[in-house]
Structure 1
Amino acid sequence: MRQYSGPAAPDPAVGGLADSVYDTAERSPALVQLDRWQEDGWRHVTALRFRDEVLGLAKGLLSHGIRYGDRVAVMSGTRYEWTLFDYALWSIGAIPVPVYPTSAAEQVRWILAETQAVACVVEHEDHAMTVGAVCDALTELTSIWQLDQDCVSTLTEDGRGLPDSLVHRQRLGVSPDSVATVIYTSGTTGRPKGCLLTHGNLAAEADALLSGWEQVVRDTGGGQPATLVLLPLAHVYGRVVQISAIRGGVRLGHHGELTTDSLLPALASFRPTFLHLVPYVLEKVYQRAREAAEESGKAELFGQAAEVAVEWAAAREQRAFGRGPGPSPALRLRHAAYDRLVYQRLRGVLGGRTRSVMCGGSTLGRELSLFFTGAGLAVYEGYGLTETSAAVTANPPGRAKAGTVGRPLPGAEVAIGEDGEVWARGPAVFAGYLNHSQDMFYEGWLATGDLGELDQDGYLTITGRKKELIVTSSGKNLAPSVLEERVRAHPLVSQCLVVGDNRPYVAALITLDPQALAHWLKANGRAQLDPWAALADEALHAEIQRGIAAANTTVSRAESIRAFRLLPREFGPEQGLLTPSLKLRRSAIVRHYADDIEELYGN
């Protein structure tokens, strides 16, 4: 079994996650701990004010009967109040249970019933109605609090008469081994399980990121580091971004929408110095930049700038590993010229101050990673699971290797089993599943279910999922995710699902990006066509076929895509076809499009 270990872990945490709020307020009361969006812009929240708000809400929760060890569900988008409830609950030893705001009533019932939640925080009336529809079956549930009805102020006022000492007594009883949260896995297959993550797990994860990537966090060009959490706080990645910022003195803002129209203005006004993103955001930023260049008659300039960025970043990468001299003088001159003409504008889209991006959740293509790095946004891709408290590997500062998910974090270890499965262990690995057997552990190692490879430098590459291997009727095995990623490199393609299990050949279901399709139709003199009626257009099919042919050059003929179907709408979480973290629910998609798949094989 091949394995690699990360650097030494930071000193283990003591106490609970809420302690950092009180410690920072005592040590640096004027530090801007968060920015809160209001109608007229961002408003600073100092460490002292945040501590006082957390303490006041914690007393309000106590006044309503919430006690040490109680589980309280939070069903909301990413917003300031979620962070406030997290730290108020942790202050009294209670356990927040995140629920995705898009969850169906049956999913909500399952999570609240299994966790025996005694209360639920919801964002608005629709969420309240979802919980209300199933509350008859929830015998433990006693309270529902609604954020848009200003439940924070009401709870704080209700607890005003309680002494602060009641909160501190509860808080001081929290240890690193205490359960901090129950996060349900996205459930790409089967019913999701509740992962028990301790205060020690989450603190170890946050401290490993803060210590191992300190130069990334502190690379601000002057001033306090700042990041905008764009990920769902119901997802472990978003939660760790929050905890790392609070523990590390990073100014934290919240923005819950990933649509381009909403995201770009938020980035421009907040001006983060670094970001944690999923690949989807980088893909959309690149795509919109390319389309804008084409519409302004600068497509050739953008294409040349992209090629130079990739070449420059690749040469720098080779030099970092002692395998090349780095960019040539001529390449450096071209890169400097395009920095003024193209790259500065691209960085401006992210607020103008962002220097680094940590990326995880799914696979980011090597070319795209090199492009952004070459454009002045250093990309550090990582890999992890809910069960590992988010990242267990990440590309280290100064030695990032595009196309991989990096080396183990400080204190973590990664190994590859005999069947190619990735195994992990370390202080951030979870305590187990709620009400389920712990048969995913082998001699202290967590079997992740992912397939991967470790290179000679200890860098991990994820090649697929064990349960998602496709076996054609001729007996050929292939991991679909790698081929899907290559098809998605085409600018028109939004999503790709490769099929072929027990079939004579491999085929694909493909969805198109609506904005990219509209742009293509206009550029090709077909603007009069309805975007989805255009799916039958021969020229469009030929364009997608070229993208598939390019992807097929990287695999054997037996693994290549022989047929494809363009679908009239993208896969979405609301259809149950994507997880909330935007991963494909393969079995659900196959069931939903069973007739289309049969037609691909002439049945």
Structure 2
Amino acid sequence: MREFSLPALYEVPADGNLTDIVRRNAAQHPDVAVIARKVGGAWQDVTASAFLAEVQDAAKGLIASGVQPGDRVALMSRTRYEWTLLDFAIWSAGAVTVPVYETSSPEQVQWILSDSGATACVVETTGHAAAVESVRDTLPTLKHVWQIEAGGIEELGRAGKDISDATVEERGSVARADDPATIVYTSGTTGRPKGCVLTHRAFFAECGNVVERLRPLFRTGECSVLLFLPLAHVFGRLVQVAPMMAPIKLGCVPDIKNLTDELAAFRPTLILGVPRVFEKVYNSARAKAQADGKGAIFDKAADAAIAYSKALDTPSGPSMGLRIKHKVFDKLVYGKLRAVLGGRGEYAISGGAPLGERLGHFFRGIGFTVLEGYGLTESCAATAFNPWDRQKIGTVGQPLPGSVVRIADDGEVLLHGEHLFKEYWNNPAATADALADGWFHTGDIGTLDEDGYLRITGRKKEIIVTAGGKNVAPAVIEDRIRAHALVAECMVVGDGRPFVGALVTIDEEFLGRWAAEHGKPAGATAASLKDDPDLQAAVQAAVDDGNAAVSKAESVRKFRILSAQFTEDSGHLTPSLKLKRNVVAKDYAHEIEAIYAK
């Protein structure tokens, strides 16, 4: 058994709640832009004092509508300014936010609103409203539904016009630090989602220590962050609350479809995203370079960036020749890539899935360091992350200051600290299984090095045991294979089988470009090309690269290309884009059998 901890850098308030943040910002930084909203396609800054006023107006409407202290208020929307406004308004009314993924089905909406006992709900679109309405007769506690795109915020403002500021002040002070701030339903790769109760204290401990450990990235009046992660996911909530605590300017966009345009317009100094975002930035840049006839130059620049980054970790550092080469490529390639990311940023934080060492070295080598972290809903997002000044690429960093990471005798990662969840809502049995003697059992397998840097090697429940008795952690090789531009998802199989195989889906965004470059018919799809020798060879190259990261017994011997991507709509991915392995295994059983056919 091994454990590591760091002293807390932020003193969690003995009491109080998250509404203290917006009141403090308005008092201490009244004219500082703490958030920005899109108006007519252009960004418009909102000062701390103006934001507090809007929060109070929405809170008054909730109070006037009968929302009581401790009531659960559901919030179903894409990432946008109004979500952050309503989150703080719900807390200011003394209530508890229950986020709902905007892609949720009526059945999922029914479960979350019913299980949480929500008394009110704010939705974004007519479609969301219809989903709630379709199950409303099964929700006896639900009294109000407001729709953002149908004037819901304005409706709340009118409803609360007779509520005084003093009433909001009083109501906003009701919740104590150990009271629930939100109930985040885990997306669940199996079974129904569990409601994870996160307190105001957990957010203070989490966000306060993240900001202090990464203080150069959170300079008030200088720094900004663009939020494009779903706010129904706990990582998105970290990206929302931490900038408010700093405070630095926060901008919200609903998705990553036009991310490069949004980055160019907002020009953030800090980006927080998932590995797939950084993979797409790299793959898109490489594909564009190849289309422009500059593929060879890009590949040489990428190799130089990776070599330069690796050399930074050696006692002697990069050689003179490598420094000169790096400087040349900085003008030709790296500067343009940084411009794609907004042009002002030097750092990003990545979480939600493993980043991959090659990608980590590439970005650090071009002058845009991606700090990898690790966390779960139950740990209020990041429970470990790489510090800005002591990064170890390939690890998920050191424990959150003020918390402890322990590796149990069987390799499971255990956590302890004020940032942990309080309980699973209405589920004492699941709570008892996960929390024992103050330690949260993550279900992840990992190691700690001598400096307290954590490596995650897999999930206990996902460990594959081949017929030969070899234990295989899928994540390591899956992440390497998925890094290829053509690969959308990869799922390793082989439990009880003679060798390891894989199911691979093709990224439709890059398939068209690849097909054109390789003389394939226009409009070709993964379904029409899955047996094509050239595509098979390209995927084999990705598999070979993945196999280089593991032993021969763990390597993928055979793979099958599937006709369609795994998506949330198909039921194969959770809203946070995690594989539902049991569903994939069931739906593609025939493909798995084909891998092992004689």
TM-score by length of structure 2 reads: 0.97
Out of 450, 462, 476, the position equivalent to 1:482 is 476
CA distance in 1, matches of 2:169, 2:188: 37
Q: Determine helix, strand or coil for the equivalent of 1:574.
A: coil
CA distance in 2, matches of 1:217, 1:169: 31
1:381 aligns with 2:375: no
CA distance in 1, matches of 2:401, 2:542: 40
Q: What is the aligned partner in structure 1 of residue 250 from structure 2? A: 252
Larger displacement relative to structure 2 (446-455 or 542-551): 542-551
Render the CA deviation track for 1:284-334: whole Å, top value 9, x for unaligned.
00000000111111111111111111111111133xxxxx21111221111
Q: What is the aligned partner in structure 1 of residue 80 from structure 2? A: 79
1:396 aligns with 2:387: yes
Larger displacement relative to structure 2 (283-292 or 568-577): 568-577
Residues 185 and 386, structure 1, Cα contact 8 Å, conserved in 2: yes
Q: What is the aligned partner in structure 2 of residue 580 from structure 1? A: 575
Write out aligned runs for 1:149-188 (5 A): 149-188=150-189
Render the CA deviation track for 1:14-37: whole Å, top value 9, x for unaligned.
411011111211222111111101
Larger displacement relative to structure 2 (73-82 or 559-568): 559-568
**Aligned-pair distance for 1:491?**
2.5
1:454 aligns with 2:448: yes
Residues 359 and 379, structure 1, Cα contact 8 Å, conserved in 2: yes
Letter of the aligned partner of 1:591 in structure 2? K
Letter of the aligned partner of 1:127 in structure 2? H
Write out aligned runs for 1:53-452 (5 A): 53-218=54-219, 224-259=222-257, 262-318=258-314, 324-437=315-428, 438-439=431-432, 440-452=434-446
Residues 404 and 417, structure 2, Cα contact 8 Å, conserved in 1: yes
Q: Determine helix, strand or coil for the equivalent of 1:536.
A: coil
Render the CA deviation track for 1:484-529: whole Å, top value 9, x for unaligned.
1121232321110011112222111101111222222222222546
Q: Determine helix, strand or coil for the equivalent of 1:74.
A: strand
Larger displacement relative to structure 2 (228-237 or 545-554): 545-554
Residues 84 and 240, structure 2, Cα contact 8 Å, conserved in 1: yes
CA distance in 1, matches of 2:98, 2:10: 27
Letter of the aligned partner of 1:59 in structure 2? K
Inter-CA distance 157–529: structure 2 relative to 1 (3 Å threshold): closer
**Aligned-pair distance for 1:474?**
2.6
Q: Determine helix, strand or coil for the equivalent of 1:313.
A: helix
Q: How many pairs are equivalent? A: 593
Give the superposed CA RMSD. 1.4
Residues 493 and 513, structure 1, Cα contact 8 Å, conserved in 2: yes
Q: What is the aligned partner in structure 2 of residue 539 from structure 1? A: 534
Residues 218 and 243, structure 2, Cα contact 8 Å, conserved in 1: no
1:568 aligns with 2:563: yes
Inter-CA distance 516–166: structure 2 relative to 1 (3 Å threshold): same
Consecutive unaligned residues in structure 2, runs of 5 or more: none
CA distance in 1, matches of 2:19, 2:83: 14
Q: Determine helix, strand or coil for the equivalent of 1:205.
A: helix
Residues 121 and 147, structure 1, Cα contact 8 Å, conserved in 2: yes
Residues 274 and 354, structure 1, Cα contact 8 Å, conserved in 2: yes
Render the CA deviation track for 1:67-111: whole Å, top value 9, x for unaligned.
100001001110111111110111121001000011111111111
Q: Determine helix, strand or coil for the equivalent of 1:573.
A: coil
Q: What is the aligned partner in structure 1 of residue 22 from structure 2? A: 21
Residues 105 and 130, structure 1, Cα contact 8 Å, conserved in 2: yes
**Aligned-pair distance for 1:40?**
3.6
Q: Determine helix, strand or coil for the equivalent of 2:198.
A: strand
Letter of the aligned partner of 2:483 in structure 1? A
Out of 506, 511, 520, the position equivalent to 2:505 is 511
CA distance in 1, matches of 2:543, 2:67: 56
Letter of the aligned partner of 2:12 in structure 1? P
Q: What is the aligned partner in structure 2 of residue 599 from structure 1? A: 594
CA distance in 2, matches of 1:217, 1:62: 34
Residues 510 and 566, structure 1, Cα contact 8 Å, conserved in 2: yes
Larger displacement relative to structure 2 (58-67 or 168-177): 168-177
Inter-CA distance 366–173: structure 2 relative to 1 (3 Å threshold): same
Letter of the aligned partner of 1:128 in structure 2? A
Residues 317 and 399, structure 1, Cα contact 8 Å, conserved in 2: no
**Aligned-pair distance for 1:127?**
0.7
Inter-CA distance 28–546: structure 2 relative to 1 (3 Å threshold): closer
Residues 218 and 247, structure 2, Cα contact 8 Å, conserved in 1: no
Residues 5 and 414, structure 1, Cα contact 8 Å, conserved in 2: yes
Q: What is the aligned partner in structure 2 of residue 471 from structure 1? A: 465
CA distance in 2, matches of 1:191, 1:265: 37
Q: Determine helix, strand or coil for the equivalent of 1:530.
A: coil
**Aligned-pair distance for 1:552?**
2.2
Inter-CA distance 538–40: structure 2 relative to 1 (3 Å threshold): closer
Letter of the aligned partner of 1:156 in structure 2? G
CA distance in 2, matches of 1:225, 1:582: 29
CA distance in 2, matches of 1:49, 1:467: 48
1:558 aligns with 2:553: yes
CA distance in 2, matches of 1:485, 1:557: 17
Q: Determine helix, strand or coil for the equivalent of 1:258.
A: coil
CA distance in 2, matches of 1:317, 1:242: 33
Identity %: 46
CA distance in 2, matches of 1:203, 1:196: 14
**Aligned-pair distance for 1:580?**
1.1
Larger displacement relative to structure 2 (530-539 or 554-563): 554-563
Render the CA deviation track for 1:134-154: whole Å, top value 9, x for unaligned.
111111001111010011011
Letter of the aligned partner of 1:524 in structure 2? H
